[in-house]
Amino acid sequence: MSTEKECQPSDCEGCASAGNCGQEQQMKGPEKLVTGPSTEIKHAIAIVSGKGGVGKSMVTALMAKRMKTLGKKVGIMDADITGPSIPKMYGIHKKAMANEEGMIPEVTSDGTKIMSINLLLENQEDPVIWRSPIITGVVQQFYKDVVWGDLDYLFIDMPPGTGDVPLTVFQTVPIDGIIIVTSPQDLVRSVVEKSINMAEVMNVPVLGLVENYSYLKCPDCGKEIAVFGESKIEELAKKHKIPILAKVPIDANIAELVEEERFAEVSVPYLDGVEKLI
């Protein structure tokens, strides 16, 4: 029987949540997902951005890299189902296998476990033309039906924005919190607040902000050039009382390694010390 039929307008009289109970239920949402018996994930952290193209996948991979450098066991779950980019960054083009317990993640040359829709498609160029319930179902399967094994950190590369996938992950995946990637452009900064507000409404901790494309270092004189304008991340961090985890410059060497699908070889100091902040 539907709740609408059960509820009478008079039931709301005198209730502090009058008119909002449906919304509250939606925000509280379903039970958290549980992984299989061979998986134990100590920390799950989602990487989000207000809009596309700010370098969210890059920051996800840099976070994973930093933790690998510290000897941690790390996985990346590519929850960007319609625009997956993690496997290509590492040059992984194999199809994922499965056993009786679930899907087996691929392992990159630096030992990072990854799962992405691109590891399951017949052709990696095939578009994913699925409705939201299918997409969110796949994301949930990537958490609970992948045999991740023991992980210190699972980083979740989310699709941009505040749509169905973030809603599902925030409600059903037991994440420690989110890291928000932004860039100095004003437009990006203003949509970032939507992600911050969504996290607040859903009681998801915001662990910190990362500013990508922060500056470009002149190869001759070492001067830092603010290509996309002066950073305003301090303002944003102060306003919302969120720590700044890192400022990542435009780095032609990383861009080249990504183009060559050799992200595993990246070694940069931009996220040094980030582990103490999250």
**Site residues, ligand ATP (CB under 6 A):** 49, 52-58, 80, 83, 85, 160, 212-213, 248, 250-251, 254-255, 258
Residue 57 marked ligand-binding: yes
CB 159 within 8 A of CB 83: yes
HSE toward the beta carbon, residue 11, CA cutoff 13 A: 9
Give me the amino acid identity at 203.
Answer: N
CA–CA separation, 69 and 35 (whole Å):
26
CB 132 within 8 A of CB 103: no
In angstroms, the first-to-last Cα distance of the chain is 44
Min CB(21)–ligand ATP separation in Å: 35
Min CB(94)–ligand ATP separation in Å: 21
CB of 53 or CB of 229, closer to ligand ATP: 53
Min CB(256)–ligand ATP separation in Å: 9
Min CB(230)–ligand ATP separation in Å: 17
Q: What angle do CA 219, 225, 226 make, to 5 degrees?
A: 150
Residue 53 marked ligand-binding: yes
CB of 170 or CB of 213, closer to ligand ATP: 213
CB of 58 or CB of 192, closer to ligand ATP: 58
CB of 35 or CB of 214, closer to ligand ATP: 214
Residue 83 marked ligand-binding: no
Among residues 163, 155, 208, the alpha carbon closest in space to that of 52 is found at 163
Q: Which residues are annotated as a binding site for ATP?
A: 50-57
